[in-house]
Structures are given as structure tokens and as C-alpha cells.
Structure 1
């Protein structure tokens, strides 16, 4: 009805107004203010997408953007108020492997590589017979974890296990879990989001083990301090799924890991302590790019600057720092990772896919021996640990015997979870 009141010559100006409203909405949506997400799904590259209204957040930090910027047809077929549920079909034996499914009211949209599949959207009842409309949440569950390749659907108190192969539906009762407003599988764990909180659950039984619910922003988003009780940052930083900014270890077995405004200090096998970067390294404030330890000093790189502290209780900021990275290390910043192998005098600095060597005994210091790391596009953090090299990529870490082994490796070795290294026990 309202459209009839707009003359053809007004359509262009109306489009401008709508665009301005959308931009404004993207600016005002702030995941750190506490949002109940409508749906969560991990894309084919392992990046979580958090949906809110007609916007989505990609990854663990960054601003909201319109959902139809990545999945254009969602708005073409529906006035996109919000996505009810979403998941990625990740079963290699399925013809729909790596397809992403979005549920809106009574329709389901199937995308492959961000392109809508032919003849979509379809009725939910056609693609997933026995599954109701207007869902609350959905999550994939492979055979290794659910007995059969399945999708778990949530609507109110009702839980539906949908067998992908036979299309049989098995009703479940999850007594210990709250109603999910969204759910997703990440690093082989299952998470039910309810409001601003989440609980980790067993997909077969719905059992919730451990101290839940927990605040979603503590573990799935890079946000400054906001929880009611944050006298202790340790558990949050040990178990957060947000990727590390930097990590470093000294010869005494101390490990320092940095993420956003916080860091964790692991004192060998004795204790683990979490704190804010600003409290321990007040001149730095927060968010480092790379860190390495050399000669009982910790070198912390942020942007184009290098901060140096003498390790101790407290850490002592050296006079004259920060210095430009080109002056201190002979390389233009920012960089992604850095490390020193044991008692070596060479700092290895990684920038993109390139690794350089810096002789710390030289004057002036110069970045030399440039070589390419072919098996990754970006290293988030790196350190010398337990006699070898550890690199961190996203939520996983990989071990190599030496920097030369990293450069020569044809494929990534066995992956391990970063949370395991940091002592997360759940």
C-alpha cells in the first residue's frame, strides 16, 4: 500500500534513504553491548558467522554488515527481518557437503560458495520432512559424534534429530539444557546460545557438563572487560576461542599469550595467571601484533613500534622505547609473529607468508634471509617451546622442529587446539 504512494521519480531518493538507514544500523549494532544472536554458523573456511536481524558479524571481532552482502538472495525472496537458524552441511559423503543452509519462516535457502542453489528457496518440509517451520536453531552433527550424519533442530522445548541419509526424524528431550536461540558446532564442540549466555552440550543427550551458562562475549568475541566478576581473567583467556594475537616463551618454561586487552602467564607447571595488558605493560595498553623473548627481555610489537620490557615482578619498561620497528629490527611494521629459538641470537620475524631473520647482536639490525612459508597464508603467533617451533593459526597450533622445517613443510602437521596448550580443562 505504501509503495503506491511513491511516484517513479521518487524511487531513487527513497533508495538512498534506505541505504542510509542500513548503514546506520550496521554502525549501531555492537556485539560487545550484549546481543542475542538469531543464528550462528561456521562457513567453509571455519569462520563463524553471527546473525542479528538483517546483519551478520564475521569472525570474533569487527563491525556488523548486511547479510545480503554475502547472501544476496535472502532479501530477494524474503523481507529479511532475521534468519531463524543456520548451519553448514559438513559431511564429505553428502552431495551437499559444505553447503550453508538458512531458515527463514517456512523456507530454507541452500548456498554453495555464497551462491544460491538452483530452485531455492524451498519449503522446509520439502527438504527436511518432519521438521517444523519458524525454527529457533539448527546445528550439524556428523556420524562420528551422533551415530549418523544428522542435523539437530531446535524449536522451543522440542529437539529434532534429522538423519541426513534416511530423512528419519528422532525426537529428543534435553532436560538439562535451556531453550536455544541459536546453536553451532565449533572445534568439535557443541554450543547452545540463549540470550547473551551459552552452554556447551552433548549432542546425543543434551547433557551440560561444567560451570554453565557462561557469557558468550567472554569466549566467542573480542570485547573489553564487561562481566560482573572479572577479578580473575584466567579461565576466560585460557578457554576463549578468539585467536591469539601473540605468544612467547622463555628458557624457564614461562609462556605468555596475548589476546586483545588481556594476557595469560603460564609459570611452567606451577600456576596460570590472567591479567590485563595495561596492568602489566601499561605503556603498551592493549592489542599487540607480535612478541618474542630475548636475553630476559620481552620485545612487544604493535603497529610500527617496538616496546621492550625487562621480565620480572613487575616487568620494567626500558627507557627510550617504543622505537620505530625499522630502527629496532630493520623491518617495516606491522608484522604478524616473531620468535627466538632457544639461546639463539637470531629473531625470526613473520610478515604475511614471508619470514625474515634479524641478528640481535648486529648494529644496525637488518632483516635478512627472506623466505616464503608456503603452507599457510597467515601466522597469528609463534614461539619456541619444548625444543621446537610452535605456530598458531586461528584456533589451532602446529609444531615443527625448526624454522627451516616450517619453510620446507609440504603440508601442515597434526593440529592441536590452542586451548589445550593454555591449560583449558573443559
Structure 2
């Protein structure tokens, strides 16, 4: 488990803040563990942590476990021993050239399948089983794409213009539109010669041997301070990584630990199903829990942001982040981009000086602002304000709120309260039953407090 913990801390801090190299926050909190832990013998450590070569392919599987292919073996997760490739995929004999987990929401039978590429053929697996009709020639499955690839990675809508696959072969970078079948070549010298590639938590990584870069899947640009060594971030290697000399105090550990019970200052949800939880300059993604429960600095996604978020809401593909008396707006197209002229005063934008929580419901222009025990309706189209409503006790103060097709969720301390609709919230004679936020939303072990486990109310 320690290896996964170290990776979570190093990625959360290292990939968000590359300049923090040399530190390791070795927490003891409960983390989503990708892959089984185990003791690696010296021969296997030498194979996994060699100075040369890197991996043949990297992808996530259907369950969110990271797969690292090298030669005839695969590592499942960031720690643990190697397994023969054909133990999981008996039809594959020998090394693979590339691998990806495909994203095709309009084709549920294909969505989240794992594709393995070898030579001129491709194999497609659903829930670990080879799909009928495979293997196929790569050029037949993806018209115009050559065989003997070096790497491949899927690109999701809103990050690319459409559901796309990026293929890498030597200095060639090819973009394949899954819907239209159009193939385009990209001139991306910084991400050419990828030996493997992967999308993880809306970030794209190209491995060039044992080193890697993070890149923009639309422009091919690479942030400063890359490339970095994969052995400091993606695997456990003796003498590598972020050391053990710095240990955070209990307050810092609690802030990074989703199961600590420490309250969140804000939540947001949008029409595409993304749900964010904000705490102390960090955010967690609730809707992508399958790929890990890692905390990230605000600047990881919203590069101009730092400090605490007091309230957040989405409307018309824009995310509004409130900090004190200021509001900052980001367009949420292919990644997030700052709207020109922001931040600006909250009073000028919404007619209020401060707010404890805010939410909009899916595909609605009705905004609800909560300050103390009062909730006010704002029509975002007309910019008109309705009368204040007094919330049912004990909602004298709300830390955060969001709304999905399943209703409204109000958060206070370590608990939340669910109402089936806004109308049910404002007309309730008694408060809804308190439920435990960590248990329900973050799949933490039950602590015996109020509220039993249930499926998180994710959209999409």
C-alpha cells in the first residue's frame, strides 16, 4: 500500500508542482489503490527500474487499474509483481506495441474496451474477454493507420474536439476521429517518438523511454520542467522517488485524505457529469473515482487559481469559482480557459457581497445562492433576483452544495443532506436525514456515524 500512497502524494504534488521534486508526503490516509501490492525480487526490480527502455505500452483497464507492459510481462498497478501478458490475455503471445482504453459513449458495446496492438493487428477486450471478430488488421479497424505502432491514447470530447485516438509511430503523430474516420497528421516535435502514452485523470502523458512529458492533446504543447523520470512518479524503485525526509503534520494529512472527515468548502457539478469537491486549495474529482481518489492543487486544472474556493457552480459550459468577494469564470471546453476580465467583484457579477454555497441544476439557468440560513434564487438569463428563502434548521450555515438529476445535496461539516428537488428543499418542514460524506461520496470505510453506504450520485 505504501507504494501507492507515495505515488498518490508524488503525483498530486509533483505533477501539479514539478518544482517540488525531492519531497514526499508519506501519508497514512486511505487511498484508492491501483493494483495489488507485493514484494519485488531483485531481478524484477532491475527489469522494472532499468535506466534504459521504459515500457512498451501503458493504459488503464476497464476497472481503472494502470497497466504497464514490458516484454512478455505486465504490471497491474503502481506496485506489485509482474505477470505474463498471456495470463490475462491468452491470445497475445509476446510483447505489445501499444495499448489504450477506448472512449466511445455513442457505442456502449465498445466503450471502455481495452485495445492491444501488436504488429499489424489489434485485439479488443471487453471485461477481459476477447471480442468476436478480433484480432483485426489495424488498417481495417482504423482506416489509414499503419501497423507496428509505438503508442496510442484515446482523447475524450471536451479535451479534443471529438472522440479521437492519437497514434504515435516514430516522429509521426496521427489523430484519428472515431466518428468520421478522418485521419490527420500532427506536427508535434515535443511529443514525437513516444514509446507509450496514457490518459489519466484528464491529463495526457507521452513516455519517451524511461522519461515522460505531459502534453496538450489539441496543440501538442508541453509545460515547462518536462521531461521527468517515470521512476520518480509511476513506479516504486529503490533510491528513487520523493524520499521520506519530509512528513506533513496531521492537519496537512487530513486535508489531503478524502476519508479524514475534514469538511469541504465547496462543491460543483456540471451538465457533463463532472463533480468537484474543494478543500484548502485542493480539489478531488468525484465522478472519476475509478481512476483514483487523488487530490490536486487548483492550478493543476485552473492554472491562475490558488487559495481556498468558497463556492462554485456551472452554467452554459462555464465554471464559476468564488473566493471571498471575487468570482473567476472558466470556459470548460477543451480543458479550462480563463474568461477575459476575470476575476471581478461578486457584487458586480451576481449582486451579492459574499456567499457560502451556490448551485445550479442540470440544464437550468436557475442559480441558488446560500448565505447563512438564507437561500436566494437568481435567474441567470434575466439576471433577476427572487425573494430570500429561509432554509429548514439545522441549515443555519452550509459549507457547500451541488445539484444533479437525483436532487440537491447540502454539505455541513462531515455530513450531507439530500433533497429530491429544490422545491422539496425549500418546503421541507424538517431536515433530511444526515448522511456521512466520506462514506457515501468517497467510498471510505463506515465509521459508525450517521448514514450508511450507498452509490454516489454521479451523473452521466
TM-score if structure 1 supplies the norm length?
A: 0.51
Which has the bigger relative contact order, CA under 8 A and spacing at least 6? Answer: 2
- The answer on 1:36 being equivalent to 2:36 is no
Q: 1:233 to 1:93 in 2, by over 3 A?
A: farther
Report the equivalent of 1:91. Answer: 104
Residue 254 of structure 1: how far off its partner (Å):
6.4
**Distance of aligned partners of 1:71 and 1:248 in 2 relative to their CA distance in 1, 3 Å threshold:** farther
Structure 2 partner of 1:70: 88
Equivalent of 2:200, from 182, 186, 189? 186
Does 1:249 pair with 2:250? Answer: yes
Residue number in structure 2 paired with 1:45: 63
The 3 A distance-change label for structure 1 pair 387 and 124 is closer
1:410 correspondence with 2:454: yes
The structure 2 residue matched to 1:156, chosen from 167, 170, 190, is: 170
Bigger Rg, which one:
1
Instruction: Please state whether the residue corresponding to 1:222 is helix, strand or coil.
Output: coil
In structure 2, which of residues 150, 164, 170 is the aligned counterpart of residue 136 of structure 1? 150
**Match among 141, 159, 182 for residue 127 of structure 1:** 141
Aligned with 1:131: secondary structure? coil
* 1:397–1:187 CA distance, 2 compared to 1 (3 A): farther
| Superposed CA offset, 1:202-243 (max 9, x none) | 00111001311111121111334326xx68977xx9xxxxxx
Q: Distance in 1 between matches of 2:176 and 2:114?
A: 16
Deviates more, 1:43-52 or 1:89-98: 89-98
Task: Give the secondary-structure state (helix, strand or coil) at the position aligned to 1:49.
Answer: strand
| 8 Å CA contact 1:124, 1:133 repeated in 2 | yes
Is residue 170 from structure 1 mapped to residue 184 from structure 2 by the alignment? yes
| Structure 2 counterpart SS, 1:220 | coil
Cα RMSD (Å) = 3.8
Query: 1:148 and 1:45 mapped to 2: Cα distance?
Result: 23
Number of equivalenced pairs: 247
Moved more, 31-40 or 193-202: 31-40
Q: Which runs of 5+ in 1 are unaligned?
A: 1-23, 238-246, 259-267, 271-384, 416-426
- CA distance in 2 between counterparts of 1:249 and 1:413 reads 30
For the residue of structure 2 that corresponds to 1:69, the secondary structure is: helix
Distance in 2 separating the partners of 1:218 and 1:191: 14
Question: Using the alignment, how far apart are the partners of 2:439 and 2:103 within structure 1?
Answer: 24
Distance 2:102 2:443 in 1: 27
Cα distance, 1:401 vs. partner?
Answer: 12
Residue ranges of structure 2 left out of the alignment (5+ in a row)? 1-40, 258-278, 282-411, 416-435
Deviations 1:164-207, CA, capped at 9 Å, x for gaps: 11111011111333421000101111000011111110001110
> Is the 1:192–1:201 Cα contact (8 Å) retained in structure 2?
yes
